[in-house]
Amino acid sequence: MSPLISTADLADALAAPNPPVVLDVRWSLAGPPGREDYDRGHLPGAVFIDLDTELAAPPGPAGRHPLPSPADLERVLRAAGVRAGSAVVVYDASDGSVAARAWWLLLWSGHEQVAVLDGGYAAWVAENRPISTAAPTPEPGDFLVRPRSRPVVDAEAAATLARTGLLLDARAPERYRGDVEPIDPRAGHVPGAVNAPFSAHVDQTGHWRSPQELRQRFRELGVTAERVTAAYCGSGVTACSVLLALEVAGLSDRERPAALYAGSWSNWSADPSRPVATGDQPG
């Protein structure tokens, strides 16, 4: 299954005899809660999943959005109707930067049949496709979470990769440089990390750039088949967008996947003994 699906292809799939499970994961760091957007309208049959409470464990030393436990994630996915053989489509408001977290968690859990809706809810609505305010009650699924199907690194491994491989920082350039830090204890980036803002993956309409464009972008950032690559962001959410973009570009896949530093900057910056680099160079 391709990591991205168009609105037209999703509409066809929803009209087919065995439609995919559709997950609405709209969320914004600044709020309001994504559930409010879902209640005002969502794709027909879509099930809402809350990023803060269902796609992450409670915040703490591991970061602001630690990975959920396998048991908790399995409960959430089964309640949404995910079965072992079902296709799953996830969407957010527009650019896929949040939906990518759900996409990656499903891959991490061992479920390969998952795609992100290109353009998200905004593209669906812009094309006057049907929306609903009814919350479905899906038949419980039977999916068994088998974690570690995609690699995860901790702070120590991320620091090593920044020296010996390639560590991509998905945050906006001003946060990477350390000009501002609105959330976490310290400003800057992991020494050696290369800035790869997630916003560059899509065009002005919120649609994903072509595989060729993404491949060229990542080549310029130093991604090669020989370099082990990982990504991080503020709390492990938008870094998944980098991992998605690498797969769209054909530079990461099941056989040679890039890794996620799940704790990300919220974990790194919380430890005062860890070094911090500032400025627009890796350091």
The torsion defined by the Cα of 37, 25, 78 and 252, in degrees rounded to 10, comes to: 170
Is there a single domain that holds both residue 121 and residue 11?
Answer: yes
Whether the CA torsion 170, 207, 29, 102 is positive or negative: it is negative
Please provide the average confidence, as pLDDT, over all residues in the chain.
Answer: 97
The answer, yes or no, to whether residue 1 has pLDDT greater than 90, is: no
- The verdict on residue 85 lying in a domain is yes
pTM of the model: 0.97
| Per-residue pLDDT at 5 | 98
Count of structural domains, the chain: 2
pLDDT at res. 120: 98
pLDDT of residue 32 exceeding 90, the answer is no
- Do residues 120 and 10 share a domain? yes
**131, part of any domain:** no
Q: Is the same domain home to 113 and 160?
A: no
Q: pLDDT at residue 30 above 90?
A: no
Given a cut of 90, is residue 189 above it in pLDDT? yes
* Whole-number pLDDT of residue 83: 96
Whole-number Å distance between alpha carbons of 124 and 14: 13
Q: Which domain holds residue 14?
A: 4-126
Average pLDDT over residues 117-134: 98
Tens digits of per-residue pLDDT, 237-249? 999 999 999 999 9
**Does residue 199 lie in a domain region?**
yes
In a domain, 244, yes or no: yes
Residues 120, 166: one domain?
A: no
Q: Is the Cβ–Cβ distance between 18 and 113 less than 8 Å?
A: no
pLDDT of residue 31: 83
93 inside domain: yes
CATH of the domain at 192: 3.40.250.10
Q: Are 91 and 21 in contact (CB under 8 A)?
A: no
* Residue 92 within a domain: yes
pLDDT digits (tens, 9 = 90+) for 65-108: 999 999 999 999 999 999 998 999 999 999 999 999 999 999 99
Report the pLDDT value the prediction gives residue 225, as an integer from 0 to 100.
84
17 and 110 co-located in one domain: yes
Rounded CA gap, 103 and 4, in Å? 10
- In this structure, is residue 282 part of a structural domain? no
Would the pLDDT of 21 be above 90? yes
The single residue of 153, 155, 158, 233 carrying the catalytic annotation is 233
Q: Are residues 49 and 113 in the same domain?
A: yes
Indicate if 98 and 163 belong to the same structural domain. no
Query: Are 107 and 199 in a shared domain?
Result: no
Residues 115 and 206 in one domain: no
Are 59 and 167 contained in the same domain?
A: no
Q: What is the pLDDT of residue 239?
A: 98
Confidence of residue 226 (pLDDT cuts 50, 70, 90): confident
Inform me whether the pLDDT recorded for 283 exceeds 90: no
C-alpha to C-alpha distance for 226 and 223, rounded to whole angstroms:
8
pLDDT at residue number 81:
98
Is the pLDDT score of 128 beyond 90?
yes
Under the banding of pLDDT at 50, 70 and 90, the label for residue 56 is very high
Say if residue 76 is in the same domain as residue 120. yes
Q: Please confirm, yes or no, whether 233 is among the known catalytic residues.
A: yes
Give tens-digit pLDDT for 136-173: 999 999 999 999 899 999 999 999 999 999 999 999 99
Q: Which helix (H) or strand (E) holds 91?
A: strand 88-91
